[in-house]
Every structure is written in structure tokens, then in C-alpha cells.
């Protein structure tokens, strides 16, 4: 799961939202230095990732993309699934996507001071460029993958990702729509039984 899904799956408490978001950006030592109220967000983040990786419908989608994108298939799918989530947003949330994303940005801004310096610089850039809503367009996806392509050892496997999405969209969407209700139920369970 990528940023948009992690935000939607987070427990309501702001500190958990922030910890969940930061988990992908912080080294282990930085995670350990976060104040106690943010630690459950780290736990939730990894619980979401583990559940996602083990779900049969996610594994099916990864397999579908692996021939064209090799070892990068799982990370590419994370971003593509955020796109699919955005296209089906009203199925999973009663709050509109623009309102939701602005609410998440405000939460991050309120907790900016507890973040490491590199995140205090990165988060305003994320908000300025409206990362979360950028996943709702193919152009936004293409831009995201172009950035990712510059940071990997085998950029050739990032070629024609939009074509992959368009070619396989109905199957990817079917897998996502089957998987995500299970993911939501599991995240709610973690929030209420382990992190409350």
C-alpha cells in the first residue's frame, strides 16, 4: 500500500496517522526516537504492509506485473493500487477525496515539529505538489514513476508502466476491490484490539 491507502487505513488518532505516514521515510533509529504516542503508527504501518504482501489477490496482481517489471512489481503495484483506490474512493470512504487529503495535510502540518529535519522539509513539498491527489490522474502516475525510475538500479523495468496499467486495469481493479475490504477490516481490528 502507498501513501493514500495508508492514510485511509490509519486509526483516527492523529499521532497514529503521523507515525503510520513516517514509517516509510525514517530509518530504524529515527523511528525509535519518535515520541511514544507516534509508535503505534509505526506498528500499524508494518502490520498493513505484512497483511498486504500475504493477501492472495495482491500476490496475483504482483505476478501479473512481474514479467514486465521484474523485482519492482510489488513497489509499482503499491502506487498503482493507490490510483485504483482513488478511482473507487466513494466505495471505501464517505468523505470526499479532496476533503480527505486536505485533512491529512493539516494533520501532518500540526505535527511537523516532531519530525526529523529532512521530513520537515519534505512534507511541505508534498503538500505544495498535492501528492495524494496526483495519484488520481495518469499524468500524476507517470510523473511519480519517472521520479522512481531515477532512483533504481535497473530503470528499464520502469518503462511503459502506464501501458501495463491500461492493459491490465480490469484485473488489477478486480483484485484490489476483492482485497481492500479485507484490508480495511484487518486495519480496524488492529486499531481497536492492539493500538487502542
List the domain boundaries for the chain. Answer: 3-193
Given a cut of 70, whether residue 58 has pLDDT beyond it is yes
Q: What is the pLDDT of residue 159?
A: 84
pTM: 0.94
Given a cut of 80, whether residue 153 has pLDDT beyond it is yes
- pLDDT, one tens digit per residue, over 18-44 is 999 999 999 999 999 999 999 999 999
Grade residue 85 by pLDDT with cuts at 50, 70 and 90: very high
Distance of alpha carbon 165 from alpha carbon 167, whole angstroms: 5
Supply the mean pLDDT for the chain.
93
Mean pLDDT confidence for 112-134:
93
Given a cut of 80, whether residue 1 has pLDDT beyond it is no
Given a cut of 90, whether residue 190 has pLDDT beyond it is yes
Distance of alpha carbon 157 from alpha carbon 161, whole angstroms: 9
Task: Please give, one letter per residue, the 3-state secondary structure of the chain.
Answer: CCHHHHHHHCCCCHHHHHHHHHCCCCCHHHHHHCCHHHHHHHHHHHHHHHHHHHCHHHHHHHHHHHHHHHHHHHHHHHHHHHHHHHHCHHHHCCCCHHHHHHHHHHHHHHCHHHCCHHHHHHHHHHHHCCHHHHCCCHHHHHHHHHHHHCCCCCHHHHCCHHHHHHHHHHHHHHHHHHHHHHHHHHHHHHHHHCCC
Given a cut of 90, whether residue 160 has pLDDT beyond it is no
Expressed in angstroms, the distance from the first to the final Cα of the chain is 22
Q: What is the pLDDT of residue 194?
A: 84
Contact between 134 and 144 under an 8 Å Cβ cutoff? The reply is yes
Q: What is the pLDDT of residue 163?
A: 87
Q: What is the pLDDT of residue 140?
A: 87
Given a cut of 90, whether residue 161 has pLDDT beyond it is no
Given a cut of 80, whether residue 119 has pLDDT beyond it is yes
pLDDT > 90 in the chain, percent: 79
Q: What is the pLDDT of residue 196?
A: 67
Residues 6+ apart with CB under 8 A from 175: 57, 58, 60, 61
Grade residue 136 by pLDDT with cuts at 50, 70 and 90: confident
Amino acid at each position: 500500500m502507498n501513501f493514500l491507502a495508508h492514510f485511509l487505513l490509519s486509526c483516527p488518532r492523529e499521532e497514529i496517522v503521523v507515525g503510520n505516514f513516517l514509517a516509510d521515510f525514517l530509518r530504524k533509529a529515527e523511528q525509535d526516537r519518535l515520541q511514544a504516542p507516534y509508535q503505534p503508527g509505526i506498528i500499524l504501518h508494518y502490520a498493513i504492509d505484512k497483511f498486504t504482501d500475504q493477501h492472495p489477490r495482491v500476490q496475483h496482481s504482483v505476478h501479473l506485473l512481474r514479467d514486465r517489471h521484474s523485482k519492482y512489481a510489488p513497489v509499482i503495484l503499491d502506487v498503482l493500487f493507490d490510483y485504483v483506490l482513488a478511482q473507487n474512493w466513494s466505495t471505501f470512504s464517505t468523505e470526499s477525496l479532496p476533503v480527505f487529503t486536505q485533512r491529512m495535510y493539516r494533520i501532518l502540518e500540526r505535527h511537523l515539529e516532531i519530525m526529523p529535519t529532512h521530513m520537515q522539509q519534505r512534507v511541505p513539498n508534498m503538500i505544495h505538489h498535492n501528492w495524494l491527489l496526483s495519484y488520481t490522474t495518469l499524468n500524476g502516475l507517470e510523473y511519480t514513476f519517472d521520479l522512481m525510475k531515477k532512483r533504481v538500479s535497473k530503470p528499464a523495468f520502469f518503462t511503459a508502466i502506464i501501458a501495463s496499467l491500461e492493459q491490465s486495469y480490469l484485473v488489477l481493479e478486480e483484485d484490489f476491490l476483492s482485497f481492500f475490504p479485507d484490508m480495511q477490516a484487518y486495519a480496524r481490528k488492529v486499531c481497536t484490539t492492539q493500538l487502542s
